[in-house]
A and B are shown apart, each in its own frame.
Chain A
Amino acid sequence: MTTGGSPRPEDPPALEPERYELAAGPAYRFEVDRREFVKLLGGGLVVLAAGAAPAQESGTRGGAAGSLPREIGAWLRVAADGTVTVYSGKVEFGQDIRTSLTQAVADELRAPLGTIRMVMGDTDLTPFDQGTFGSRTTPFMAAQLRQVAAAAREALLDLAAAKWNVDRAALDAREGGIVHAATGRALRFGELTQGQALVRAVAADPPPTPAARWIVAGRSIPKVNAREIVTGRHRYTSDLTRPGLWHGKVLRPPAVGATLVALDAAGVDTKRVSVVRDGDFVGVSAPTAAEAALAAGTLKTEWKTSPQPSDAQIFEYLKKTPPEAREGEGRGEGRGAGAQVSGSADQARSAAPIRLEQSYTVAYIAHAPLEPRAALAEWQDGRLTVWTGTQRPFGVRTELAEALRLPEERVRVIVPDTGAGYGGKHTGEAAIEAARLARAAGHPVKLVWTREEEFAWAYFRPAGVIDVRSGARADGTLTAWEFHTYNCGAAGIRTPYDVANQTVQFHPARSPLRQGSYRALAATANHFARETHMDEVARAAGVGPLEMRRRNLKDARVRAVLDAAAERFGWMKPRTPGRGCGLAAGTEKGSYLATCAEVSIEPGGAVRVRRMVTAFECGAVVNPEHLRNQVEGAMVQGLGGALFEAVRFEDGLITTDRFSRYRVPRFSDVPELDVVLVDRKDLPSAGAGETPLVCVAPAIGNAIFDATGTRLRSLPLVPAGLPKPERSL
């Protein structure tokens, strides 16, 4: 079978990204300091068109948002020595797309893996890209690069046919060269191109190689830069240096929402140290990190704080506080708008013998990537280059241009492979801060956030409340489904179960903390509420959780993973005494999954997850071992948010601001993990870095209920162990 039904390999900039993907807005917009500016630009005349990117031709390298480049040369070049350089605006954060994209190109171009070099996330070199999020790299970028490589292969075949004056159909592309079997003639790709760009438009024709005929893709290839990682040679942003480098340090406010009243820089040696105050921004830079830290400690700041909600009131606050009207809103997304209604949930519910109504909550959690935000900024002849770990290099270029009032073409953002993000590095705070400090210092400046800064001043996965009301027949068949999600997002809000009467609605709220994207984001919250509620209905009807789901499920792909997970887990087999089992299923971002969990309760009430099985299906598998790695990693990350991760805050102060106060999963927390990959070579590949997270929390919560009879409806489930059972009088 071919992948004829695959989506167009485009990444249309107009496409509405998942809500909150981009919500954490820029942190700064600086005042213009004329003196600094003139100095930097060498006194030339500067026309400041703040925020307005100059019109650029679409399709140019590093161009503005627009249609994708159609020329092969923008995406792929073959050097005279045969090295193939591929350009993609996507970035590597540990998802192993540097490897999977290399595999896709190798396959389509018929070139050895080792000859392919990916240039990623460099706004001067790579075509515009919206960002690396939403599990879009595999369905869109891999498909795009496959078409580019296929077009390049065709162009190389043309070159060889013309050179040898033979029938093109008699030629074969293989292992980095073109071969004419009849005469035994062969030329390497590099010998054919002589380093010249291939001139040909990328078109849908020829169609990409179907998954069933993949050679390099579809197999487990080790990470292409594993050697750099294990030797410590790979340079993350925080490892970079430049001649004349200075080190930056930013002074943070004492609480969220504080504004700067006064700054006293007396006592700082301004000959050695550069001090910047710009609005509420205060930062210093100096030749060494120690001097910068010392100067930052010497500065006296006075801040004005305002009362802020605390974590104890957060859910009530979110339910009653609608968002402030934002510009460009008005898409029917305000309070009370945008409900998806079919039938009448109210009517069906009033007639149902089983009626349940429950509220579920999820806490704010932190991404806590092990590499905190970092940036190195360098100004040269009025041009700004910033190396930084961001999931949106082009977005950060815009943020820099706006904050520093520069035209975008004077800004270059380069993203070295980064120490993870999980949706937490969409923004350019560190980039902007480093650029602002560097402009004042007249030196390149590196700024590495401390762990405390990363915990307190990045953005969080949103907290939320989900209210569910359901009606079911006595046998557990759902007849009514009402689902309201407050604040934490609309992804995964729709139920895959067949219910005739539904009202499903997302209600945005004003978040007191800065919130943004997170791996699998709202789908985790919505799956937690839905799959916990499904379990509650099953219990009320006296039907087994697996049977209850099957009874309400037509979707063949969800059914397939549910059955696969249950079978591998041994759902129907006799249970180990003292343990509880739970399951959950769902679909998100084009992938399908089911997770089963087994828990035990330790003396003292600690919950120990013993075993988890996830069956996962994301169409045709590109790299089984790396996919497995992603699924396992997502399960472990999901475990943290399920059991104990929560951001605590009190009147604008984040109190969980270090690893000793914010618990993340460690070796001893990891249960036996089992991943069943359902490889559908007949279906286009979907992204897979996020979705395997979404069923972990409900599966564990349902298992805890199975073990103890205690129903937990808040994430994290057991931050301090299992709650004491209510005393019966």
Chain B
Amino acid sequence: MARLELQINGVSHRVDGDGERSLLTILRDELDLTGSKYGCGEGQCGACTVLVDGRPTRSCVTKAASVAGRPIATIEGLEQNGRLHPVQHAFAEADAMQCGYCTPGMIMEAVALLRRKADPTAPEIGRALEGHICRCGTYDRIVRAVRQAAEAAKGGAG
């Protein structure tokens, strides 16, 4: 049986079986990393978003074999030593959620955005997150949370 090596949140995992399976399935069903969510299976809602080589990636339409050996970051790896990532902190502060099911995917996308562009405007944030669905409709709050995280990072740096 084929064997894959996945680098997830800095830890190497060996996974047996079909590399054609989606990364999301392996994360959730085999590694019990259930923070990444299934929402559509066609890359339309963003709930499954993880970072591969730092880039936001829809894990539901990504074959596991295609990301073997590359650094993968999931929501579970953001918190460091009990300290929330500034984006996580901002989402909680800004009440940028209702049911919370889309939240991990939104946060991962926002983390990637802020690495790309430290101080995005509200329209830029909206465009970057356009591929994500929040069916509860907290879009405004999500934009606000990302702005807040950007501001906090500026404050921290200066």
Minimal beta-carbon separation of B2 from chain A (angstroms): 13
Do the beta carbons of A668 and B130 come within 8 Å of each other? Answer: yes
The verdict on A271 contacting chain B, using a C-beta distance below 8 Å, is: no
- Cβ of A239 under 8 Å from chain B: yes
CB closest residue in chain B, given A623: B95
Q: Which of B77-92 contact A (CB under 8 A)?
A: 78-79, 84, 88-89, 91-92
Looking at chain B, what size class is its interface with the partner chain?
35 or more
CB of B133 within 8 A of CB of A96, answer no
A499 to B99, CA, bound (A): 41
A188 to B107, CA, bound (A): 40
Which interface residue of A220, A370, A625 has the most chain B CB atoms within 10 A? A370
Do A632 and B140 form a contact, CB below 8 Å, given A93-B99, A231-B76? yes
- Selected from B29, B100, B127, the residue in CB contact (under 8 A) with A234 is B100
The yes or no answer to A243 lying at the interface (CB within 8 A) is no
Q: Does B25 contact A (CB under 8 A)?
A: yes
The answer to the question of A636 belonging to the interface, with a C-beta cut-off of 8 Å to chain B, is yes
Most B-side CB within 10 Å, residue of A96, A451, A667: A667
- Cβ-closest chain A residue relative to B101: A419
Contact A236 B101 (CB under 8 A): yes
A629 to B29, CA, bound (A): 33
Name the distance in Å between B117's Cβ and chain A's nearest Cβ.
16
| Given A232-B35, A633-B98, A227-B140 contact (CB < 8 Å) | no
Interface string of B15-58 (1 = CB under 8 A from A): 00110010001001100111111111110110100000000000
Complex: how many Å from CA A369 to CA B39?
Answer: 9
Query: B129: CB under 8 A from chain A?
Result: yes
| CB <8 Å contact, A239 and B34 | yes
Residue of A nearest to B130 (CB): A667
Cβ-defined contact, B135 with A448, below 8 A: no
Please tell me the number of chain A residues within 8 Å of chain B, measured between CB atoms. Answer: 58
Instruction: Given A420-B101, A664-B133, decide whether A370 and B47 contact each other with a Cβ distance below 8 A.
Output: yes
B143 within 8 A of A: yes
Closest to A245 in B: B29
A637 at the interface (CB under 8 A from B): yes
Least distance between A49 CB and chain B CB atoms (Å): 38
Q: A230-B107, A658-B40 are in contact. Are A419 and B100 (CB under 8 A)?
A: yes
- Could you count the A-B residue pairs with CB atoms below 8 Å apart for me: how many are there? 168
Contact B34 A629 (CB under 8 A): no
Task: Tell whether B97 is near chain A: CB-to-CB under 8 Å.
Answer: yes
Residue of A226, A288, A629, A665 touching B92 (CB-CB under 8 A): A226
- Other-chain contact of B79, A95, A231, A239, A370 (Cβ < 8 Å): A231
Q: Which of A230, A370, A451, A666 contacts B42 (CB 8 A)?
A: A451
Residues on A with beta carbons closer than 8 Å to the beta carbon of B98: 94-96, 420, 629-630, 633
Whether B59 is near chain A, meaning CB under 8 Å from some CB there, is no
B138 within 8 A of A: yes
Within 8 A of A (CB), among B123-158: 126-127, 129-130, 132-143
What residues of A have a CB within 8 angstroms of the CB of B28 in the complex?
239
Contacts of B21 in A (CB 8 A): 290
Task: Indicate if B8 sits at the interface (CB-CB under 8 A).
Answer: no
Instruction: Tell whether, in the assembled complex, residue A660 and residue B42 are in contact, meaning their CB atoms are under 8 Å apart.
Output: yes
Residues 43-57 of chain A, each 1 if its beta carbon lies under 8 Å from chain B, else 0 = 000000000000000
| Contact yes or no, B133 A231, CB < 8 A | no
- State in angstroms the CA–CA spacing of A236 and B47 once bound together: 13
Among B28, B89, B132, B140, the one with the most A-chain Cβ atoms within 10 Å of its Cβ is: B140
Evaluate contact between B29 and A247: CB separation under 8 angstroms.
yes
Contacts of A419 in B (CB 8 A): 37, 99-101
Closest to B142 in A: A667
A226 to B101, CA, bound (A): 12
Residues of chain B with a CB closer than 8 A to A93's CB:
99
Complex alpha-carbon distance, A235 and B104, angstroms:
12
A296 to B70, CA, bound (A): 33
Chain B residues lying within 8 Å of A226, measured Cβ to Cβ, are 91-92, 95, 97
- The reply to whether B84 and A230 form a contact with Cβ atoms under 8 Å apart is yes
**For the complex, is A238 an interface residue (Cβ under 8 Å from B)?**
yes
Interface: A346 (CB within 8 A): no
Given known pairs A420-B98, A659-B133, the reply for A229 and B139 (CB within 8 Å) is: no
Q: How far is the CA of A230 from the CA of B127 in the complex (A)?
A: 22
Kindly report which residue of chain A lies nearest to residue B74, judged by CB atoms: A232
Tell me the bound Cα distance from A659 to B136 in angstroms.
15
Is A450 an interface position by the 8 A CB rule?
yes
Q: How far is the CB of B131 from chain A (nearest CB, A)?
A: 8
* Pairwise interchain contact B32-A635, C-beta atoms closer than 8 A: no
Q: Report yes or no: B139 in contact with A667, Cβ–Cβ below 8 A.
A: yes
Pair B99/A418 contact, Cβ less than 8 Å: yes
Interface residues in A356-394 by Cβ distance below 8 A to B read 368-372
Contact A289-B29, Cβ < 8 Å, known A222-B95, A632-B138: yes
Chain A residues lying within 8 Å of B92, measured Cβ to Cβ, are 222-223, 226-227, 229-230
Query: A residues within 8 A CB of B37?
Result: 236, 238, 370-371, 419
A residues 408-451 in Cβ contact with B at 8 Å = 417-420, 422, 448, 450-451
Given contacts A230-B100, A230-B103, A451-B41, 11 further A-B contacts (CB under 8 A): A94-B100, A230-B104, A231-B78, A239-B34, A241-B32, A370-B102, A451-B42, A634-B137, A636-B137, A637-B137, A667-B132
9 smallest CB-CB distances across A and B, nearest first, come from A232-B35, A636-B137, A94-B99, A419-B101, A94-B98, A229-B100, A239-B34, A232-B75, A633-B137
